Structure 1
């Protein structure tokens, strides 16, 4: 009897051990499967170097261990509902970011190292949300607080993923730090127009609706995952273990959030903008070191106007691209035969992003001279030193943090913004008329040009362009180019009639691609090719015939808009410490070649443009 009793106890122990072993084996298998699933997806989309220990195998092991220990301590396998909220964001985030990263990599594949911070952040999110769900199911009073925390945590990452996916849908590229700079420098109206233009009202509502449904699903999963569990309890030893795991998840999560999107992009962009503001403070010191080469140049006999275009693509401008099927530049096409006009048909942007392009366009910094932002001198500074009354007129909303624009506006004697920035560019004429007639002024005009949405750039009563076979978007864009041509004509006419205009220079900040628009994501040459023309009055050419001669000689040469400082200084007859004659097409010393020319801040060589003539 005693022997049978002992045999029964031993048999029970063995059975329990067997059951526990099978349970532990199941837990381990599920933990391995969870990590294998996401890393299998990585391999499928083209993530490489998965066998690397530091960024591949090590992260898999961390994930397996944390998930396995969480299962063991709670007695809940990965199949339990309390894991589902965390699993949802874990796979959604890593699945989306790995796919977009691989697709944006340029050669269908990126190293797993790029996803290191994402993986080491989302594994703790997965474990932490589960543990809080588990605690909430046992502690009724804590349940609402823990549920809200999980909802907000998952909501933060979910919103980031939705934004990232939407940006990729628009630009076919991942959301970069430079894109974040643009976001931080963009006002609400521009953001609204951007979304309406690129997505459309229906798609935008659809995205918002999808996000709301997603968050409702998250709330349901959280509710079901932490339902009261009276059949379970937390013993003190188990509680200690769970507490250690919570801390083990919180520490890397606190480190990881600032290193993942959007926090990391925000930090980089914010640092850049703060650096720009520091450069502004350095500006006064730069002016102390600034001087002209030789005597201070005399003022010209009238005004000089520099017009900054926006998103104008040379490819869509008939005056620069005669084969284009629509006459988008009737005024400029007519003036092309005028000997007072010099059209440069091989001009490129330094960067297909407004803030970065203007940082070089308006200052003595370019891709080739090795200067940095702390050495900035603006064109308006030069004009001030000569003695011109200086004006800045803009139809774009103020953009705090845009160093070049801040530098230009801060030193201009008068700054005028149109009453409704972003609307009709013709309104800049109202501001131009505030300048006294006959004044020898230096004027910078910043147009809204062809900034999307294109149809909002054209007044309702303006007759636009309709070309059979072109999409509505292309026709809207071409109509904005046509309207810019009309605005330029009016600026030109007013400058001649009222301001004794001696010179007018027009160049765009960057171009525009009809599919990918512009930015720091996918690059196309349509984003890089831009218009540039110079007008010199008859009286100017009679006084300085060599300037006109050199412009005529070099108008067919390569030029990039980060050399505008040198070009305008040449027109002003004002060589200075920030000027270099080899970059100035008005100078006989101009020696800039196509082999030197680059875009995207030196990343891409202009000579590689397949359409370069």
Structure 2
């Protein structure tokens, strides 16, 4: 093979991948220079396409490439545009398209190689052509649906939307399409899709035709081996990535969510029948109670909790921590360094000390509903399959909202807070994306973050996300205080974060469970609940694990019930968690062994006495 042909193949492979990269830039996809989820994938595409041309002797201009090229550019161009538009002012980073890019690169090469094999083997031609037609048909139908959904709603299709689809019957689906598209438009879309697929079928036919005077390639055995490797690599990549893109991934998440929710509700309904207040039915507070779930916040990085930290990462809370209406829970720990497991206890009567199991679960929203509050759940996180506690909390809420682009700007939760009633008794749970990795994805492009000399880019990004969360909390607090008669506000992260090991089930560090926590009680609330305020102040420096938030919030609402215990309520005189018995990781870690707080441990014992 002449060097001129090799150079041509390399140039065409590079141009094909560069073209989609240029489109990403035009569409507004950001972070294009990222190696792991950007440049590396494109380089992989260049290598795969180059080798496929080299071993077959067919350049990208050959008809065998055309069917794959059509779906490759159609999918990535349409999806990237919609994702950017759905992302609001943030747009979308290339990382979010990682699985789509890898899926379509592998599909492009795989489809071509099947076309090539079919053109050389008449016995395989029909079956390989049919496989390509079905693969392209599946991908094409998926992107047609995605485009149609964006056309109707102006946003991309999320797991939450799939939940709604799975809960919709055929009649409701038809009525929906008639209402939003009309039968005429729907027929037009279907006609366009049919014509498109006929074109795909024609391209597959042309691409797999036997060529006259077809000459065998040199080094045939080597070419066959490389072709086999490319086929296997493409198939493995598709098998891994296609289930992680639309529509398979939203379906998987939504199906798991609904299955777990259904199973949870069987026991939950029985638990609610047994639940009752141990005293008289509590009076609802004349305003709002807000619980904010943070994400991946290590309190050592919060200036308000660690005065030695070299940057002011919490300008708002640092200014408020000496406010007598705020209570700094400076010795708070997560019950588990993993979101799903931490939240299984965070807002429920389950904790590490009472030996209850998940079949006995009662949520704080259940208590608020029973007490007569208007309950609401606002989330900037996508549904988490298997997180039964959150499913019950959100499902029991009378109103629930998820931001249009979960995982994006946490400030979007304000849009939903502002549409809630300004009068009456509200109980609101807000779930933030906080400082979940990648940290830079939590920060708006125009936000002036933290830059500490000597710290890595990752650590500065993390600190910037902490600072942005501080700003979000400020906005939640200020709006609710000014407009919703805020009575109480509780904030605590689900778990901490280690700058090297992050967080998770495996390797453990103390940074993974050191979490920030604070409580705000309004002057009006304290006047009517002086003992709660006094006990909280007395216990402010004691050790606290976030699996006891249920009991604390019950205490704040004055809602003592059969699922509540004063010994786990930090607002009670009977609060009995000490450094000797406090644990994490479901009892496998003793909090008193944390070396960072040895001096605080001694001081806490003195204060307790």
Task: Using structure 1 for the length normalisation, give the TM-score.
Answer: 0.56
Pairwise mapping of residues 502-513 of structure 1 onto structure 2 (< 5 A)? 502-513=487-498
Gapped runs of 5+ residues in structure 2? 1-120, 129-157, 161-223, 233-254, 601-609
Q: Distance in 1 between matches of 2:484 and 2:257?
A: 39
Corresponding residue for 2:207? none
- Tell me how far 1:401 sits from its aligned partner: 2.5
Change (3 A) 1:411 1:275: closer
Corresponding residue for 2:402? 417
Of 413-422 and 475-484, more deviation after overlay is shown by 413-422
- The match for 1:585 among 565, 570, 576 is 570
- The match for 2:342 among 328, 353, 357 is 357
Please tell me whether the aligned partners of residues 273 and 402 of structure 1 are also in contact (alpha carbons under 8 angstroms). Answer: no
Change (3 A) 1:371 1:469: same
Pairwise mapping of residues 36-75 of structure 1 onto structure 2 (< 5 A)? none
The residue matched to 2:412 in structure 1 has which SS? Answer: helix
* Residues 1:444 and 2:421 are matched in the alignment: no
Q: Distance in 2 between matches of 1:446 and 1:576?
A: 25
- The match for 1:314 among 289, 296, 299 is 299
Q: Distance in 1 between matches of 2:359 and 2:389?
A: 12
- The match for 2:278 among 293, 302, 305 is 293
Please tell me whether the aligned partners of residues 261 and 391 of structure 2 are also in contact (alpha carbons under 8 angstroms). Answer: no
Corresponding residue for 1:561? 546
Q: Distance in 2 between matches of 1:186 and 1:350?
A: 28
Q: Deviations over 1:387-423 (max 9, x none)?
A: 0010000111122331011001111000011111111
Please tell me whether the aligned partners of residues 408 and 433 of structure 2 are also in contact (alpha carbons under 8 angstroms). Answer: yes
Corresponding residue for 1:467? 452
Q: Deviations over 1:86-113 (max 9, x none)?
A: xxxxxxxxxxxxxxxxxxxxxxxxxxxx
Change (3 A) 1:369 1:333: same
Q: Distance in 1 between matches of 2:346 and 2:419?
A: 26
Pairwise mapping of residues 93-108 of structure 1 onto structure 2 (< 5 A)? none
* Residues 1:494 and 2:479 are matched in the alignment: yes
Q: Deviations over 1:318-349 (max 9, x none)?
A: 00111111100011011011000000111100
Question: What RMSD over aligned residues (CA atoms) do the two structures have, in Å?
Answer: 2.8
Runs of 4+ aligned residues of structure 1 deviating over 3 Å after TM superposition are: 215-223, 270-277
* Residues 1:458 and 2:443 are matched in the alignment: yes
Q: Distance in 2 between matches of 1:575 and 1:557?
A: 22
Change (3 A) 1:274 1:610: farther
Provide the aligned length of Structure 1 versus Structure 2: 363
Find the structure with the greater CA-based Rg. Answer: 1
* Residues 1:391 and 2:389 are matched in the alignment: no
Q: Deviations over 1:432-476 (max 9, x none)?
A: 001011231000000000011111101111100101001000000
Pairwise mapping of residues 148-297 of structure 1 onto structure 2 (< 5 A)? 219=228, 278-297=263-282
- The match for 1:526 among 508, 511, 514 is 511
Please tell me whether the aligned partners of residues 380 and 408 of structure 1 are also in contact (alpha carbons under 8 angstroms). Answer: yes
Please tell me whether the aligned partners of residues 273 and 401 of structure 1 are also in contact (alpha carbons under 8 angstroms). Answer: no
- Tell me how far 1:276 sits from its aligned partner: 7.1
The residue matched to 1:295 in structure 2 has which SS? Answer: coil
Q: Distance in 2 between matches of 1:410 and 1:380?
A: 9
Q: Distance in 1 between matches of 2:298 and 2:558?
A: 30
Please tell me whether the aligned partners of residues 312 and 531 of structure 1 are also in contact (alpha carbons under 8 angstroms). Answer: yes
* Residues 1:348 and 2:333 are matched in the alignment: yes
Task: Using structure 2 for the length normalisation, give the TM-score.
Answer: 0.57
Q: Distance in 2 between matches of 1:287 and 1:222?
A: 55
The residue matched to 2:486 in structure 1 has which SS? Answer: coil
Q: Distance in 1 between matches of 2:449 and 2:440?
A: 9
Change (3 A) 1:294 1:457: same
Change (3 A) 1:341 1:222: closer
Corresponding residue for 1:324? 309
* Residues 1:574 and 2:559 are matched in the alignment: yes
Q: Distance in 1 between matches of 2:448 and 2:277?
A: 48
Corresponding residue for 1:544? 529
Change (3 A) 1:464 1:289: same
